[in-house]
Amino acid sequence: MATKQHGVVSIRQLEGPLGFSQRSVARAVASGRLHRVYRGVYAVGHTELSRHGECLAAVLAVGPGALLSYYSAGWLWGLWSGSPAPFEVTAVVPRHHRPPRGVVRHRARNLDEVDRAVVDGIPVTSVARTLLDLAWKLRPDQLRRVLARAEDLGLFDLEAIHEVIERNRGHRGAQRLRFALAIYERPIWTRSEFERRFVEHLVAGGLPRPATGWTEVGHEVDVYWPEHRFGIELDAFETHGTRAAFEVDRERDLDFALAGIRTVRITERKFHREPEAVVALVATLLSRG
């Protein structure tokens, strides 16, 4: 067992499958056949553990169901070139449960089966869950490199990443990961920088991806959700700053209303000053549809 587990075993394994008693474990420690790594975790025969052995020891120390995670998981998957230490482990455990010294423990409210994987015999968070966790910690440029590395290794699964974001909307890395995924989505054709930034914020806020430049009743809608028959007209002074443009806009609004299409107007100034409030407003309007 120790050979398969990079030279480490837990007290549960010793007393369970291997049939050791507490007294025989104590004798093995005294004779130097077992070396304590963490409470309840031992190296067999020697103390020179490999990095893989150190990772597994940290997981075993936290307890059943624990997973190597964050930077340590990124290292194990080959996504992170830095050190796996200090060893980070995620588990569903009570708040009062103290982690072993030298191990950074993250508490998860839930860990679905799809969040679990095994690499080289070490329980670890899935690639998608690892990317979500790292998105909280990494700078945007670092996160882009990690995503590119996942793609190079054949580990990138856009659908799985979206699913883990949806299941963990309150995770601190969710919004950052949505932003980073923008280049992997189908292209959005926009006519201005304002329109591009506006759509990026909507998607990062968890809203369904809209169409841009969609035509209804002979008019083009800046941002549109056909299934909701709801659209947004983006107002910037440069494009709507004349009397003629003002009149055309009002005629368009009337035509949309007659066709049963709801539209609202959002100015560039308002979006620049209150981007999060604007995303929340759009979410509310979409839900009413």
User: Where in the chain are the domains?
Assistant: 66-95+107-178, 193-288
More confident residue, 123 or 215: 123
Q: Copy the structure tokens of residue 287.
A: 């839900």
Class of domain 193-288: alpha beta
67-68 and 87-91 strand pairing: antiparallel
Query: What does pLDDT average to over the chain?
Result: 87
Do 49 and 6 form a contact (C-beta atoms < 8 A)? yes
Residue indicated by tokens 């095994």: 118
Please give the Cα distance from 143 to 132 (Å, whole number). Answer: 10
Q: What integer pLDDT is reported at residue 189 of this predicted model?
A: 54
Sequence length of the chain is 289
Q: How far is CA 107 from the centre of its chain?
A: 15
Give yes or no for residue 241 having a pLDDT over 60: no
| Confidence tier at 289 by pLDDT (50, 70, 90) | low
| Average pLDDT of span 210-237 | 86
Q: Copy the structure tokens of residue 102.
A: 């030298």
Q: What integer pLDDT is reported at residue 13 of this predicted model?
A: 82
* CA-atom Rg of the chain in angstroms: 27
| Confidence tier at 149 by pLDDT (50, 70, 90) | very high
Q: What percent of the chain has pLDDT over 70?
A: 90
Q: What integer pLDDT is reported at residue 242 of this predicted model?
A: 54
